[in-house]
A and B are shown apart, each in its own frame.
Chain A
């Protein structure tokens, strides 16, 4: 039977489907920001951005940009009715203090037990930059990762042990990928769902790790 990967939009839809009504959510820079476009309109889901805004709305119309009103990626956004501004110490209290329900992050690698590597490739020439990644990874009630399962060279981003520098230890609960969704547990990966037509055996071969049925 044939199978195909989820597109980025389908992956964003898949993540969005698991976010509950009333959730306070932080979407990391990059692919996770796509999730905002797929949040069900009938739910109230409140987006937080680390630079001091909760109740973040969509990008403004062209010509309406206000660069005092930006997201963590420094792009212009809007604020919804009911939203609030606050300073950095309060913003990171929300993140580190377990007040954010879900944060969705990108990653270079995630280990089967939930270690995360998403801030640095470890290359000597690279200028390191961490931003809020380490605070987000360990602070939310649940940390989810949203990635394509394989690198462009076909290597699995799900690994037994991260070889890139760590962002956080045992911090990832769930990994949403373009071929399957996994739980990271102390006993390794557990399957949540899999794209239609892909067999469990083939998934294990692609990922290169044992995966327990849910």
Chain B
């Protein structure tokens, strides 16, 4: 019998090892699995490589994981934001490595990993400093850069609703990297706000089929907080 529902976050994250590559969903705070990241901080794995679009907002979630000194390397497209002070300080003092990847290449490298593709030629970045030293090829008269898949040991994603087979739906733009990261990791852990019986998610609207998901854990619903931009009237 398939039982992917974990009793607790601690149980879902128990076997993450030092040096692991962790794919963390989210764009800004939308889709950031804050509760799972808190769990990862408690779990204690160190020397991590973290893949996320950004590099943390404020001092909670991913920023707190960075601040705890657990992350050796960030792979992301857009680390610098109005409230990325934790990453900024670590980077400036040489305490964290950064691999900057154009956002679409990041998504496609994850997709390639999940789909068993050994590499792909992308037009993005051709002729720029981010493609320096990379193999290029002209295909059909257009120049492309060779990029490789990006595999995770673990993916931590935030979904909306799940069932015990691990089928998932998402909420609005909090979907972002979740479905593609779910495919790219050896082990995917999703937080959900609601667990329903098999068949209660209309198969026509399942976004991530359970085959890509290994553990789901229910968390209390908390509204996503604003972050990553300067609000009018605030410093």
**In the complex, residue of chain B having the shortest beta-carbon distance to the beta carbon of A94:** B104
Q: B43 in the interface, Cβ–Cβ < 8 Å?
A: no
| A-side contacts of B177, CB under 8 Å | 87-88
Residues 68-96 of A at the B interface (beta carbon under 8 Å): 68-70, 73-76, 79, 85-89, 91-92, 95-96
Question: What 10 pairs between A and B have smallest CB-CB spacing?
Answer: A92-B104, A135-B104, A74-B228, A169-B127, A74-B28, A88-B107, A67-B224, A129-B80, A134-B102, A131-B78
Interface 1/0 per residue, B97-118 and A, CB below 8 Å: 0101111111110110000000
Of the four ranges (under 10, 10 to 19, 20 to 34, 35 or more), the interface on chain B belongs to: 35 or more
| B-side contacts of A87, CB under 8 Å | 175-180, 207
Q: B119 in the interface, Cβ–Cβ < 8 Å?
A: no
Q: Is the CB of B103 within 8 A of A67?
A: no
Q: Is the CB of B224 within 8 A of A68?
A: yes
Select which of B27, B30, B108, B130 is within 8 A of A134 by beta carbon: B130
Residues 2-27 of B at the A interface (beta carbon under 8 Å): 27
Q: Is the CB of B174 within 8 A of A92?
A: no
Q: Is the CB of A132 within 8 A of B77?
A: yes
Q: Is the CB of B129 within 8 A of A68?
A: no
Residues 37-90 of B at the A interface (beta carbon under 8 Å): 77-81, 87-88
Known contacts A66-B223, A69-B172, A127-B91; 20 additional CB pairs below 8 A are A51-B27, A52-B27, A52-B176, A67-B29, A67-B225, A70-B28, A76-B226, A85-B172, A88-B176, A89-B108, A127-B98, A129-B78, A129-B100, A131-B102, A133-B102, A134-B128, A138-B124, A167-B128, A168-B127, A169-B127
Report the bound CA distance from A127 to B97 in whole Å: 12
Of the four ranges (under 10, 10 to 19, 20 to 34, 35 or more), the interface on chain A belongs to: 35 or more
Q: Is the CB of B108 within 8 A of A92?
A: yes
| 27 pairs from A and B in contact (CB 8 Å cutoff) | A51-B173, A51-B176, A65-B226, A66-B223, A66-B224, A68-B174, A69-B173, A74-B29, A74-B30, A74-B229, A87-B176, A87-B178, A88-B27, A89-B108, A92-B103, A115-B127, A127-B80, A129-B78, A129-B81, A131-B77, A131-B78, A131-B102, A131-B103, A134-B105, A135-B102, A138-B126, A166-B129
Query: Given contacts A74-B228, A131-B77, is CB(A89)–CB(B111) below 8 Å?
Result: yes
Q: Is the CB of B176 within 8 A of A73?
A: no
Interface 1/0 per residue, B191-228 and A, CB below 8 Å: 00000000000000001000000000000000111111
**In the complex, residue of chain A having the shortest beta-carbon distance to the beta carbon of B174:** A68
Interface residues of B (CB under 8 A from A): 27-31, 77-81, 87-88, 91-92, 98, 100-108, 110-111, 122-130, 143, 170-180, 207, 223-229
Q: Is the CB of B226 within 8 A of A130?
A: no
Interface residues of A (CB under 8 A from B): 49-53, 65-70, 73-76, 79, 85-89, 91-92, 95-96, 115, 120, 125-135, 138-139, 165-169
CB distance from A78 to the nearest CB of B (A): 10
| A-side contacts of B173, CB under 8 Å | 49, 51-53, 68-70, 85
